[in-house]
């Protein structure tokens, strides 16, 4: 007969349930915050008994940490779109594209991250001080090289990065506000395309990479 799952049954169950829980947790943490989220709510959304959650994740904080790490990794991967680019138009353009896509596809992850940072990064402070700091230093150097090569105006690379993060993540974190101002409807495909174009156009011209 068919053999849809090549893995051993146990591993399959484990992975499936962990994913189920993580997805539910991301949504609940995004909508209620860490303090407002309850294990019962996450359990109900995942369709599992609460005790089962504690079998896979010892504490609420463990579960939360995993959710935060997930979105952070997604962002780090997207950042590679910036490298290997011949100049700011392609590099920063691609980065904006990638981050806007993530804002659309993972709005909850973005919100959880924002919430975590706003509360002083109690559980991912070490990531900020190591991975993120290194990443930022490297990209700032990359931008500086573009500046030195005359491919864009001399701007402060760090503040440019802040602007990139702020603008792209705003479409996820403040999606509800944008939706309300959009007549209560989520942005359509065309509107998302326009948002991307507008952001890219304004920023790339703002740094003198486009005429």
Q: Which residues bind a copy of itself (CB under 8 A)?
A: 30-37, 111, 114-115, 117-121, 125, 128-129, 132-133, 136, 153, 155-156, 158-160, 162-163, 165-167, 169-171, 173-174, 176-178, 180-181, 194-195, 198-199, 201-208
As measured in angstroms, the least distance from the Cβ of 41 to a copy of itself is 11
Q: How many CB atoms lie within 10 A of CB 188?
A: 10
Residue 66 contact, options a copy of itself, DNA, none, Cβ 5-8 Å cut-off depending on partner type: none
As measured in angstroms, the least distance from the Cβ of 148 to DNA is 51
Query: Cα separation of 164 and 2, whole Å?
Result: 48
Query: Cα separation of 161 and 146, whole Å?
Result: 14
Asked whether the beta carbons of 83 and 91 are under 8 A apart, the reply is yes
Residue 160 contact, options a copy of itself, DNA, none, Cβ 5-8 Å cut-off depending on partner type: a copy of itself
Tokens of 109: 């992850």
Tokens of 178: 């944008």
Residue 118 contact, options a copy of itself, DNA, none, Cβ 5-8 Å cut-off depending on partner type: a copy of itself
Q: How many CB atoms lie within 10 A of CB 3?
A: 5
Whose Cβ is closer to a copy of itself: residue 57's or residue 113's?
113
Q: Which residues contact 208 (CB under 8 A, 6 or more apart)?
A: 152, 153
Q: Which residues contact 146 (CB under 8 A, 6 or more apart)?
A: 87, 88, 91, 152, 209
Judge residue 85's burial from the number of C-beta atoms within 10 Å of its C-beta, 0-12 exposed, 13-18 middle, 19 or more buried.
middle
List interacting residues with DNA (CB under 7 A): 8-11, 13-14, 17, 37-40, 48-52, 54-56, 58-61
Tokens of 56: 């896979």
As measured in angstroms, the least distance from the Cβ of 90 to a copy of itself is 18
As measured in angstroms, the least distance from the Cβ of 122 to DNA is 14
As measured in angstroms, the least distance from the Cβ of 92 to a copy of itself is 12
Residue 180 contact, options a copy of itself, DNA, none, Cβ 5-8 Å cut-off depending on partner type: a copy of itself
Whose Cβ is closer to a copy of itself: residue 46's or residue 112's?
112
Whose Cβ is closer to a copy of itself: residue 53's or residue 99's?
99
Residue 89 contact, options a copy of itself, DNA, none, Cβ 5-8 Å cut-off depending on partner type: none
For residue 39, give the 3-state DSSP assignment. Answer: helix
């Amino acid at each position: 007969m068919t053999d849809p799952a090549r893995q051993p049954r146990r591993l399959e169950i484990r992975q499936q349930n962990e994913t189920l829980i993580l997805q539910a947790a991301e949504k609940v943490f995004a909508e209620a915050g860490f303090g407002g989220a309850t294990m019962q709510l996450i359990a109900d959304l995942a369709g599992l008994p609460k005790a089962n959650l504690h079998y896979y994740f010892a504490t609420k904080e463990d579960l939360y940490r995993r959710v935060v790490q997930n979105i952070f990794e997604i962002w780090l991967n997207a950042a590679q779109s910036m490298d290997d680019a011949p100049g700011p138009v392609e590099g920063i353009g691609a980065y904006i594209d990638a981050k806007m896509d993530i804002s659309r596809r993972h709005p909850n992850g973005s919100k959880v991250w924002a919430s975590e940072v706003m509360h002083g990064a109690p559980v991912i402070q070490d990531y900020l001080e190591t991975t993120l700091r290194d990443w930022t230093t490297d990209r700032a150097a990359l931008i500086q090289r573009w500046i030195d090569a005359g491919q864009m105006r001399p701007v402060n690379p760090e503040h440019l990065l802040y602007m990139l993060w702020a603008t792209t993540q705003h479409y996820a974190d403040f999606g509800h506000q944008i939706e309300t101002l959009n007549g209560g409807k989520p942005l359509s495909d065309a509107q998302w395309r326009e948002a991307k174009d507008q952001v890219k156009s304004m920023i790339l011209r703002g740094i003198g990479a486009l005429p």
